[in-house]
């Protein structure tokens, strides 16, 4: 059975998107969001929180992106 993951997105007034991944471990959080990140544009910054390095514990990752309108 697949592991449940929650992804929260916050879009600021300046167009920056903050993405937070919950309930993922190790690199699975970045793999989970890779497709949407490609669609949204270039990742401006990525902050891996301490949970990322704790192995089987719950993981939280925050990323900031800028949505460029064409």
30-46 pLDDT per residue, tens: 888 888 888 888 888 88
Say if 23 falls within a structural domain.
yes
Q: List C-alpha distances in Å: 12 to 18, 24, 33, 66, 69.
A: 8, 25, 19, 10, 15
Say if 62 falls within a structural domain.
yes
Q: How many domains are there within the chain?
A: 1
Full-model pTM: 0.61
Say if 1 falls within a structural domain.
no
Residue 33: what pLDDT?
86
* pLDDT for 1 beyond 60: no
Task: Give the domain extent around 13.
Answer: 6-66
Q: Which of 35, 44, 41 is nearest to 68 (CA)?
A: 41
Say if 56 falls within a structural domain.
yes
C-alpha 17/C-alpha 3 separation (Å) is 25
């Amino acid at each position: 059975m697949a592991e449940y993951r929650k992804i929260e997105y916050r879009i600021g007034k300046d167009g920056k998107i903050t993405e937070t991944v919950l309930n993922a471990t190790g690199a699975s959080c970045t793999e989970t969001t890779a497709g949407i990140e490609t669609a949204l544009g270039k990742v401006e910054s990525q902050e891996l929180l301490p949970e990322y390095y704790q192995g089987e514990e719950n993981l939280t990752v925050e990323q900031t992106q800028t949505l460029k309108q064409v």
